[in-house]
Structure 1
Amino acid sequence: MQKKRMKMSIILSLFAAISLVLGACGNANDENTEDTQNEDKGNAAGTENTENMEGMNHSKMNMSGSGEVPEGLKVAENPTYEVGSQAIIQESHMPGMKGAKATIVGAYDTTVYTVSYTPTTGGERVENHKWVIHEELQNVDKSPLEPGTEVTINADHMEGMDGATAEIDSAEETTIYMVDFTPTTGGAEVKNHQWVTESELSPAK
């Protein structure tokens, strides 16, 4: 009887040890699966952020300008925001722009385009850049251009833009504005910024 009890005790001990080993392996697998899932989520979030930022890097934008405008640009007769008035910028072409109070320096009627182009200085292609106006395109007639048209840019809003070959992504006839504003993130006042469209402004309170 004593030998049987010893055998049973050994067998039970073995079962207990096996159960512990299997449980540990199961937990390890669960942890590995969870880590993998978290890593996948992190990668997905990173990809999403990258996609959302694609074509929106304006770190090389010339925020201030000389105030000169292209030849032939028509001054708006009755703009919603008159020269000298103030408005709130509702678009973030660059950090510190959205929510900034702007002073209207100039108002003009034209066709504005979003364009995609590869900078003449090299680097990644810029997608859906806002904005280039009709008068900043080389060798075009007065008629608005259709999306998909290939053009040459004659403006230096960003490094490597002047002389670049671009494709028009969208076109809109509207009033565009040149503005002065101080970024909400702080720093020096931006002077003669080109361009902000009428739909990107709201009345200043």
Structure 2
Amino acid sequence: MKSKKLLIGIVSLILMLMLAACSNNNDDKSSDNSNMDHGNMKMDDKNSNKDDSNTDDSSMDMGDMDHSGTGEVPEGLKEANNPTYKVGTNAIVHSEHMEGMNGAKATIVGAYDTVVYAVTYTPTTGGEPVKNHKWVIQEEIKDAGTKTLEPGTKVTLNADHMEGMMGATGTIDSAEKTTVYMIDYTPTNGGEKVTNHQWVTESELSAK
């Protein structure tokens, strides 16, 4: 009888120890899961901050794009004999080629008679095609000759206004014989002064 009670007691003790061990394992798993969740949250937070950072960098890149030029003009480009806006005079820009350009006060640096084109081209650096880029002039198109090119004509660009533009293949969207101007201007959004910007057309300028 005593041995039976002793046996039951031992079995009961073993069962209690097993239950206690299971309980501890569950607690450990819960703790691990909790830590894992916190770890994921931290990773998500970092990724979220990274996305915000990329967004800011993207905005900053747009705002900091430098469109100043060297002042050099393509070979064969002829100065305008009697431009509406003479070199050294001021004018107001009515163009949205870039942020802060529309409404900016400009100083005329050069005036030239040529054919000006809007073009769609694929950058040599890759990426999506740039549509209806304004402007490329006759003298910045490879083997263009002297005749005005018709819309739809396939061309190779010899202009370096933007990264990936030089040597890019494109298509003429529109053409106009006019006077084009090289200008200095200060963006209306408070950015740094842009010098020797190429190009704005006569219709994109007005007197002060």
Same fold (TM over 0.5): yes
More helix by share: 2
Equivalent residue for 2:159?
155
Larger Rg: 2
Runs of 4+ in 1 over 4 A off after TM superposition: 58-62
Change in Cα spacing, 1:62 to 1:187, as seen in structure 2 (3 Å) is closer
Q: Which amino acid aligns with 1:129?
A: H
Alpha-carbon separation, structure 1, partners of 2:64 and 2:152: 25
Equivalent residue for 2:196?
192
Where do residues 42-191 of structure 1 align in structure 2 (5 Å cutoff)?
62-191=66-195
Q: Which amino acid aligns with 1:64?
A: S
1:148 is displaced (CA, Å) by: 0.5
Q: Which amino acid aligns with 1:134?
A: Q
Alpha-carbon separation, structure 1, partners of 2:192 and 2:185: 9
Unaligned runs of 5+ in 1: 1-57
* C-alpha contact (below 8 Å) 1:60/1:158 kept by paired residues: no
TM-score (norm 2): 0.69
Alpha-carbon separation, structure 1, partners of 2:110 and 2:147: 23
Change in Cα spacing, 1:135 to 1:110, as seen in structure 2 (3 Å) is same
TM-score (norm 1): 0.70
Count of matched residue pairs: 147
1:81 is displaced (CA, Å) by: 0.1
* C-alpha contact (below 8 Å) 1:62/1:158 kept by paired residues: no
Alpha-carbon separation, structure 2, partners of 1:62 and 1:197: 20
State the Cα RMSD in Å: 1.4
CA displacement, residues 157-177 of structure 1 (integer Å, 9 cap, x when unaligned): 111000000100000000000
1:62 is displaced (CA, Å) by: 4.8
Unaligned runs of 5+ in 2: 1-61
CA displacement, residues 101-129 of structure 1 (integer Å, 9 cap, x when unaligned): 00000000000000001100001110000
Alpha-carbon separation, structure 1, partners of 2:144 and 2:202: 24
Alpha-carbon separation, structure 2, partners of 1:80 and 1:173: 15
CA displacement, residues 130-185 of structure 1 (integer Å, 9 cap, x when unaligned): 00000001112111100000010001111100000010000000000000000000
